[in-house]
Structure 1
Amino acid sequence: MRYDQIIYYPPFERHSLLLQVTCGCSYNQCAFCNMYKTVDFEVIPLKQIIADLKDASGYNPYTERVFLVGGEPLCLPFEQMKEILTQIKKYLPYCACVSMYASIKNLRDKTVEQLKELHRLGLGFLYIGLESGSDRILKQMKKGHTAAEAVEQLKKLNEAQIPFNSILIYGLGGAGCAKENAVESAKMLNQVRSANIIMMNLTVFPDTELEKWCKDGSFVQASGRERIEELAYLLEALELTTPTGFSTSHVTNPVMITGTLPYDKEKMLEGVYKMLGSGKESDLHGIVSISDAAIER
């Protein structure tokens, strides 16, 4: 792979073969994100992808997992993605799962039948930045989709049997919005089947619109206590019936909460309530680990 920018991939994919199929993000408008602000979006030519696959097959022909590099590779048209997956199967026949970042916008032009075909060819896992279930917050942060659209597209993935992680950001609404963000996000998540719910703590990155809003006072960040309260509100409102991992293991988080819903819901809540009991933000750092192994996706 020939790439001169920072490479982003989920911790779970640290042992996966990284295959670049796009450069940058095709949308690149989210107010809180600076990952690809200085990178022009580009689709890597199939010829280059095949050359990289040939190199990979010579290095490790028994590769079992491939992660497609780029902000949202699923933005590629169906036929193009189908060809890439076909070539992966050709050069890495032992590959059991191809994964990538994706967005709700990417899924709009893919039918359920097309998604089923991509799944048959090896598309095995997606990491989807939902961020919030509040339409007001989604609009403010310029995500480009609504909660209803998210549910519609995620249900297509459920029907196609493609598992995915739902990634959300607590604190995204700012001060005073903990309950709104949590309750609306739970309403969204309760309607679909996620493999895991991954929580990220809002971080204000440089060179973003969000940073400008913080500096001019138009956005006030939620306090540490509010953010932990938001986790409590979310867990309280989640009413999942199928086993779903829940984790705050991402590096942005000040606390560690891991478990499997619905089984560990009360135990995780008990731990969060205990953290809130002190009433001191400086004490809101702890670990509430229910599962035998932390979820890294």
Structure 2
Amino acid sequence: MHYEGIIIRPPSEADSIILQVTVGCSHNKCTFCGTYKGKRFRIKDDAVIDEDIRYAARNFSFLRRVFLTDGDALIIPQPRLVRIFSKIREEMPWIQRIGLYGNAKSIIRKSPEELAELRNLGLGIVYMGLESGDPETLKAIRKGASPERMVEAGRRVRDAGIKLSVTVLLGIAGRERSSEHARATGDVLSAMDPHYVGALTLMLLPNTELGQKAACGAFELMDPPEMLAELREMIAHTHLSGGLFLSNHASNYLPLKVRMPAEKAKALAAIDAALRGDVRLKPEWMRAL
């Protein structure tokens, strides 16, 4: 397989064939993300993608899912994306689901008909980074979309019959806007009504703008109890019709798997117990991106 640079994928894609169809991220301006720094975004050549698909077909027939990287494969123009999906179906007809990352811009650029076409070709899930529902926070981290656009994008995925997984970022608003961030994020999640929510905890990286701000004292990372209090506020303000709210990423202090809405009260009680010190938090040395 022709991998270039660091390859990331969601935890739920651990048992998927990882097919790199783009290099870098089409946005690549977020102040907290260092994954694609130094990478100029491009779509890989069809010949390289085809060769990797054939290699996967020969060697990974025991796997049932494909995940397309890098940061925003959905930005690929529809004819080329349809070609990639069709090639996967041709070479690996046993594949049950294709997943990829999509930001608000790339989702909204796809018409409902185009998303339906991709669904019919195997697109089963889109992973979208919301990070925050607070407009000031989104602007500060240069996410490139308003809360309203985020909701529009999320609903478009759902309306196309594709599962939607949304990530949010604890601590990203700093101490000053923690409450606003938590509540607004809960409101946006409620409006999107995704199938999955994944909460990650901010970890500062030295090669990012936010990491550099922290180094000079312009941004202060919240402590674990503050992160938990923010998580509690966010869950309290999130009203989903179903699905899972997860905080089981390696960056988090308190792993939770909450089936919404039935287990919401139980989750809030678990966070309260952790804030009282009755539940042990993950130590720093065990946390990772």
TM-based fold match above 0.5: yes
TM-score bucket of the superposed structures, by smaller chain? over 0.9
Q: Which residue in 2 is equivalent to 1:32?
A: 32
Deviations 1:230-285 (A, max 9, x none): 11111111122x22201111111111121201000011101111122249xxx761
Matches of residues 122-271 of structure 1 in structure 2 within 5 Å? Answer: 122-240=122-240, 242-271=241-270
Q: What residue in structure 2 maps to residue 277 of structure 1?
A: 276
- Provide closer, same or farther for how the CA distance between residues 277 and 152 of structure 1 changes in structure 2, counting only shifts above 3 A: same
**CA distance, structure 2, for counterparts of residue 59 and residue 236 of structure 1:** 46
Describe how 1:40-189 pairs up with structure 2 within 5 A: 40-61=40-61, 63-189=63-189
Give the conservation status (yes or no) of the 8 Å contact 1:62–1:94: no
Q: CA deviation at 1:63?
A: 4.0
2:228/2:275 contact within 8 Å kept? yes
In the TM superposition, structure 1's runs of 4+ consecutive aligned residues that sit over 6 Å from their partners are none
Q: 1:216 to 1:46 in 2, by over 3 A?
A: same
Q: Distance in 1 between matches of 2:174 and 2:254?
A: 19
Q: TM-score, normalised by structure 2?
A: 0.93
CA contact (8 A) 2:108 2:156 kept: no
In 1: Cα distance, 2:184 partner to 2:259 partner: 21
Q: Please give the alpha-carbon distance, in whole angstroms, between the structure 2 residues aligned to 1:39 and 1:166.
A: 24
Greater shift after overlay, 82-91 or 208-217?
Answer: 208-217
**Partner amino acid for 2:281?**
H
1:61 deviates by: 4.0
Matched to 2:19, the amino acid is L
1:252 partner letter = S
Q: Deviations over 1:19-45 (max 9, x none)?
A: 110011111110000001022222111
The residue number in structure 2 matching 1:290 is none
Supply the distance in 1 between the matched residues of 2:105 and 2:99 (Cα, whole angstroms): 17
Deviation at 1:8, TM superposition (A): 0.7
Residues 103, 72 of structure 1: CA spacing in aligned structure 2 closer, same or farther, 3 A cutoff?
A: same
C-alpha separation in 2, matches of 1:54 and 1:223:
48
Question: In the aligned structure 2, how far is the partner of 1:216 from the partner of 1:60?
Answer: 47
Cα deviations across residues 76-116 of structure 1 (Å, max 9, x unaligned)?
Answer: 11111111101111111111111112211211210111101
In 2, Cα distance between equivalents of 1:101 and 1:239? 24
Structure 1 residue 48, shift from structure 2 partner: 1.4
User: Is the Cα–Cα contact under 8 Å of residues 214 and 220 in structure 2 kept in the other structure?
Assistant: yes
Partners of 2:245 and 2:120 in 1: how far apart? Answer: 27
Please give the alpha-carbon distance, in whole angstroms, between the structure 1 residues aligned to 2:147 and 2:179.
16
Q: Indicate conservation of the 8 Å contact 1:246/1:260, yes or no.
A: yes
Contact 1:112 1:156 in 2 (8 A): yes
Cα offset for 1:193? 2.3
Counterparts of 1:58 and 1:185, CA distance in 2: 43
RMSD over equivalenced CA pairs, Å: 1.5
Mapped partners of 2:133, 2:114: distance in 1: 26
Deviation at 1:189, TM superposition (A): 0.7
Is there any run of 5+ residues in structure 1 with no aligned partner, and where? Answer: 287-297
TM-score under structure 1 length normalisation: 0.91
Residues 199-236 of structure 1, C-alpha deviation per residue, up to 9 Å, x if partnerless?
Answer: 00011011110012112222222222211111111111
SS of residue paired to 2:192: coil
CA distance in 2, matches of 1:32, 1:122: 32
Identity of aligned residues (%): 30
Q: Which amino acid aligns with 2:139?
A: K
AA aligned opposite 1:243: G
Q: Distance in 1 between matches of 2:159 and 2:201?
A: 30
> The residue matched to 2:133 in structure 1 has which SS?
coil
Residue 74 of structure 1 aligns with an amino acid whose one-letter code is L
| 1:148-184 deviation per Cα after TM superposition (whole angstroms, max 9, x unaligned) | 0000111111110110211000111001322111100
Secondary structure of the equivalent of 1:188? helix
Q: State the one-letter code of the partner of 1:273.
A: D
Task: Work out the number of aligned pairs and report it.
Answer: 282
